[in-house]
């Protein structure tokens, strides 16, 4: 890694038990990082993954709860001894037309996708700064600047998280670096039909889905490069060019 030796570090990965989060957790563990793998309902999967990651633990909580960020940071810190890395990977979204959005749906989506990652990052950064160093990576979305109308609360939240990334980077520099990865077409839902995959590939300049390795590589780059902060890296196969 560039600038930062990850061996012996400690990390919290939200939504770290499944799909992209699991790939990030495992990649960090393979580099000697002890990981606090966060889950909400996927406890069995989180426990199974932790068993593959030496020194790692599972922390559980619903990010929609206002007290969850502070509790999760404190628990991960206590059980691992400290935190050097936070990856805000967890997300939720629901399809709803603009005409049908109600305050409850809006608040629920922003709680998980903006409020929780902001306070997780803020609380972790305060502790990291006291120790002299830390790295935070938030996962946003390539389509923040071209949002789909059927997912406006989700994209509003991810746009806010992109702005928060830059603001937190300025607030906690030079000790703590804060960056973001904006995934594009990486993984489709498990039940996506073949024709959906083909359509996504046709719309992507590189002509393929990125897969989890593409996101893992970007996260590791941002965690390991000690001269990058306040930036959002699009990992979208060129999708944002169209």
User: 93, 148, 151, 154: which one is catalytic?
Assistant: 154
With cut-offs at 50, 70 and 90, classify the pLDDT of residue 216: very high
CA distances from 74 to 5, 7, 52 (A): 24, 22, 23
- Domain spanning 10-241: which superfamily? NAD(P)-binding Rossmann-like Domain (3.40.50.720)
Q: What are phi and psi of 77, to 5 degrees?
A: -60, -45
- Region 20-42: mean pLDDT is 97
The pLDDT value recorded for residue 1 is: 38
CA distances from 50 to 55, 86, 187 (A): 8, 17, 23
What residues have CB less than 8 Å from 65, skipping those under 6 apart?
Answer: none
Is 151 annotated as catalytic? no
User: Contact at 8 Å (CB) between 135 and 177?
Assistant: yes
**pLDDT, the chain, mean:** 93
SS3 34: strand
Residue 3, classed as helix, strand or coil, is strand
In a 3-state reduction of DSSP, which class is residue 80?
helix
pLDDT confidence of residue 2: 53
- Average of pLDDT values for 229-235? 96
Q: pTM value? A: 0.94
């Amino acid at each position: 890694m560039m600038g930062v030796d990850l061996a012996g570090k400690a990390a919290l990965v939200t939504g770290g038990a499944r799909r992209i989060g699991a790939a990030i957790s495992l990649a960090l563990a393979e580099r000697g990082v002890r990981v606090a793998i966060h889950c909400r309902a996927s406890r069995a999967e989180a426990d199974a993954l932790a068993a593959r990651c030496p020194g790692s633990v599972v922390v559980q909580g619903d990010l929609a709860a206002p007290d969850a960020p502070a509790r999760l940071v404190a628990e991960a810190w206590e059980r691992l001894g400290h935190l050097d890395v936070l990856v805000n990977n967890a997300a939720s979204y629901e399809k709803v037309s603009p005409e049908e959005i109600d305050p409850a749906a809006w608040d629920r989506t922003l709680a998980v996708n903006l409020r929780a990652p902001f306070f997780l990052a803020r609380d972790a950064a305060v502790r990291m700064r006291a120790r002299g160093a830390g790295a935070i990576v938030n996962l946003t979305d390539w389509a923040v600047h071209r949002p789909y109308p059927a997912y406006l609360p989700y994209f509003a939240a991810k746009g806010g998280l992109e702005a928060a990334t830059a603001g937190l980077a300025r607030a906690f520099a030079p000790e703590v670096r804060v960056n973001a990865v904006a995934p594009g077409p990486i993984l489709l839902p498990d039940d996506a039909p073949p024709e959906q995959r083909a359509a996504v590939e046709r719309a992507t300049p590189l002509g393929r889905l990125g897969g989890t390795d593409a996101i893992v590589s970007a996260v590791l780059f941002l965690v390991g490069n000690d001269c990058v902060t306040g930036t959002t890296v699009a990992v979208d196969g060129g999708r944002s060019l169209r």
